[in-house]
C-alpha cells in the first residue's frame, strides 16, 4: 500500500499526461489530443498542431494506452493462440506475425493451449476480457464449437495451419493436397510402388486433408490403394510416429517408402528404424511434412514438404489487419504453395537400385506442377502465388 502510493507519486512527478502537454502548448486537452493523433490532426490548425507536438516532444509525452483503450475499446494488441511454443513449427510463425504487427504498434499476447480445448477456452476468454483487437489461432479442429462461437460473435480472427469444416473462417495454411502430391510423385518417380502413410489426427484439417490427398495422389498416379498401408497416429508426436511405423511393420504388409503426416512423425520413424536396425533410405525411404528447423541436419537429412512458416505468420497478420479495417469484406483463405525438399531420406527402393550406386548428397527443391491440374484448387494468377479461396 505504502509502496503503491509511492509509485503513484513518482508517476505523477515523472510521467507527463495529456493535460501537461496541453498546458505547455497553451491549448485545451481535447485540442492536444486531436493534434497528437495523426487521424484527427487535420481538425487542428497547422500552427497549434506544431506547438502541441513540440510540447509533447519536450516533455517526452507518451500516451497512456490503457486510458485510450478504455475510451476506444481498442487495445492495439492481438492474441496468438498456439498449442505449444516449444513445437519447432511455431516460433517462425510467431516471428512472421510479430514482424508485421509490431512495427504497426501492436503487441502480441501469446498463449499455449497444449491442445486442450478447456485451457484454450479459458485463455481466449482472458484475451477477450483484455480486449484484444483480434485473434490468430493455430488450434482449429475441423469441427470446433469453441471457434464457431467466436465466429458467431464476430470476433476478428484468422486461422493458421489448420482449417475448419465450417465455412466463413479466414485462414492461412499450406496447400496440403499440393504438397502431398509432390511427395508421392517424387517417391513414384524414384520407383516406389508400395508407399505407406502415417496419418495424423483426423479431427484436424492437416491430418484429414493429407490422408485424402495421399489416396488421391496414388489414384492419379495409377497405383492401387491399400488400406493396410495407412496407420493412424493419435497425436503429432515423435512417439506416435514410432508407434505408427511399428504398427505398419508388424502388420507384415510390404512397403518401401513412408509418407509421414508431418516431421515429428517422421522423427519417430527414424527412432524406430534405429531401434530395429532398418537403414534409411536403403531399406526404407521417409518423407516428412513441414521442413521444421534442423531436419536438414539429421542423419540422413530428411526429405520433406516445406511449409513457409514465417510467411504463414506474416500473411495471417496482414489478413487480420484487413479483417480489422474492413470487417465486412468476405473471408478469404490463403493456401500457400509448398515445395518438396529432396534430401537424404529418400532413394530408389532396394529392388530397383544398382548395387554400389553412389548416392548424391545435398538437396534439391521441387515446386508444385501447374495447379490447374488438380481440380480442388483455383489457378493462381502468377506461378507460385498463394491460392485464394472465397469461403
Q: Which does 37 bind (CB under 5 to 8 A by kind): DNA, its own copies, none?
A: DNA
Q: Return d(Cα 343, Cα 362) in angstroms, integer.
A: 6
Give the nearest distance from C-beta 64 to DNA in angstroms.
Answer: 4
Give the nearest distance from C-beta 66 to its own copies in angstroms.
Answer: 5
Q: On the CB side of 245, how many CA atoms lie within 13 Å of its CA?
A: 29
Q: On the CB side of 251, how many CA atoms lie within 13 Å of its CA?
A: 16
Cα 72 → chain centroid: 30
Nearer to its own copies, 255 or 270 (CB): 270
Give the nearest distance from C-beta 34 to its own copies in angstroms.
Answer: 16
Give the nearest distance from C-beta 87 to its own copies in angstroms.
Answer: 8
Report if residue 1 touches DNA, rule: CB under 7 A.
Answer: yes
Grid coordinates given for 137: 489461432
Sheet holding 285-290, edge to edge: 230-232, 195-199, 257-260, 285-290, 303-306, 339-342, 364-367
> For residue 249, what are the CA distances in angstroms to 77, 191, 253, 348, 362?
49, 20, 7, 19, 29
Q: Site mask, DNA, residues 115-144, x = CB under 7 A?
A: ------------------------------
Q: Which of 10, 57, 70, 122 binds DNA (CB under 7 A)?
A: 70
Q: Which does 98 bind (CB under 5 to 8 A by kind): DNA, its own copies, none?
A: its own copies
Report if residue 11 touches DNA, rule: CB under 7 A.
Answer: yes
Q: Return d(Cα 233, Cα 211) in angstroms, integer.
A: 11
Grid coordinates given for 126: 482472458
Cβ pair 336, 311 in contact under 8 A: yes
Give the nearest distance from C-beta 300 to its own copies in angstroms.
Answer: 9
- Footprint on residues 13-42 left by DNA (CB under 7 A): 15, 17-19, 26-31, 33-34, 36-37, 40
Grid coordinates given for 39: 487521424
Q: Which residues would be at the binding site for its own copies (CB under 8 A)?
A: 3-4, 7-8, 10-11, 62-67, 69-70, 73, 75, 77, 84-86, 88, 90-92, 94-95, 98-99, 102, 105, 107-112, 123, 125-127, 129-131, 154, 267, 270, 293-294, 297-299, 327-328
Q: Which of 50, 58, 64, 107 binds DNA (CB under 7 A)?
A: 64
Other C-beta atoms within 10 Å of 254: how many? 11
> For residue 372, what are the CA distances in angstroms to 320, 368, 377, 383?
28, 11, 7, 11
Nearer to DNA, 26 or 145 (CB): 26
Give the nearest distance from C-beta 336 to its own copies in angstroms.
Answer: 18
Q: Return d(Cα 233, Cα 202) in angstroms, integer.
A: 9
Q: Which does 29 bind (CB under 5 to 8 A by kind): its own copies, DNA, none?
A: DNA
Nearer to DNA, 127 or 140 (CB): 127
Q: Return d(Cα 102, Cα 263) in angstroms, integer.
A: 30
Interacting residues toward DNA by CB under 7 A: 1, 11-12, 15, 17-19, 26-31, 33-34, 36-37, 40, 43-45, 47-49, 61, 63-64, 67-68, 70-72
Amino acid at each position: 500500500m505504502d509502496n503503491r502510493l509511492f509509485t503513484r507519486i513518482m508517476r505523477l512527478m515523472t510521467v507527463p499526461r495529456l493535460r501537461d502537454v496541453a498546458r505547455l502548448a497553451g491549448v485545451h486537452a481535447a485540442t492536444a489530443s486531436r493534434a497528437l493523433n495523426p487521424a484527427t490532426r487535420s481538425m487542428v490548425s497547422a500552427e497549434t498542431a506544431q506547438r502541441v507536438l513540440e510540447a509533447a516532444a519536450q516533455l517526452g509525452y507518451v500516451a497512456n494506452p490503457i486510458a485510450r483503450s478504455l475510451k476506444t475499446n481498442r487495445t492495439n494488441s492481438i492474441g496468438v493462440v498456439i498449442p505449444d511454443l516449444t513445437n519447432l513449427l511455431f516460433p517462425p510463425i510467431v516471428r512472421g506475425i510479430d514482424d508485421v504487427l509490431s512495427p504497426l504498434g501492436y503487441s502480441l499476447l501469446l498463449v499455449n493451449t497444449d491442445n486442450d480445448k478447456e485451457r484454450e477456452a479459458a485463455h481466449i476468454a482472458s484475451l477477450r476480457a483484455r480486449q484484444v483487437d483480434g485473434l490468430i489461432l493455430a488450434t482449429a479442429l475441423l469441427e470446433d464449437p469453441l471457434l464457431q462461437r467466436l465466429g458467431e460473435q464476430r470476433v476478428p480472427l484468422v486461422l493458421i495451419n489448420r482449417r475448419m469444416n465450417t465455412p466463413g473462417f479466414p485462414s492461412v495454411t499450406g496447400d496440403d493436397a499440393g504438397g502431398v502430391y509432390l511427395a508421392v510423385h517424387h517417391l513414384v518417380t524414384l520407383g516406389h510402388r508400395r508407399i505407406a502413410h502415417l496419418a495424423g489426427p483426423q479431427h484436424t484439417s492437416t491430418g484429414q486433408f493429407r490422408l485424402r490427398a495421399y489416396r488421391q495422389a496414388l489414384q492419379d498416379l495409377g497405383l492401387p490403394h491399400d488400406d493396410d498401408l495407412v496407420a493412424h497416429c493419435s497425436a503429432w508426436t515423435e512417439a506416435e510416429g514410432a508407434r505408427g511405423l511399428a504398427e505398419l511393420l508388424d502388420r507384415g504388409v510390404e512397403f518401401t517408402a513412408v509418407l509421414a503426416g508431418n516431421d515429428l512423425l517422421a522423427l519417430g520413424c527414424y527412432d524406430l528404424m534405429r531401434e530395429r536396425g532398418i537403414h534409411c533410405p536403403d531399406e526404407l525411404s521417409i518423407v516428412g511434412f513441414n521442413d521444421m528447423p534442423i531436419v536438414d541436419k539429421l542423419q540422413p537429412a530428411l526429405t520433406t514438404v516445406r511449409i513457409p512458416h514465417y510467411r504463414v505468420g506474416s500473411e495471417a497478420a496482414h489478413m487480420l489487419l484487413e479483417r480489422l479495417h474492413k470487417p465486412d469484406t468476405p473471408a478469404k483463405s490463403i493456401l500457400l504453395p509448398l515445395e518438396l525438399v529432396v534430401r537424404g531420406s529418400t532413394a530408389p527402393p532396394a529392388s530397383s537400385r544398382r548395387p554400389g550406386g553412389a548416392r548424391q548428397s545435398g538437396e534439391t527443391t521441387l515446386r508444385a506442377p501447374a495447379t490447374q491440374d488438380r481440380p480442388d484448387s483455383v489457378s493462381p494468377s502468377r506461378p507460385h502465388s498463394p491460392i485464394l479461396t472465397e469461403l
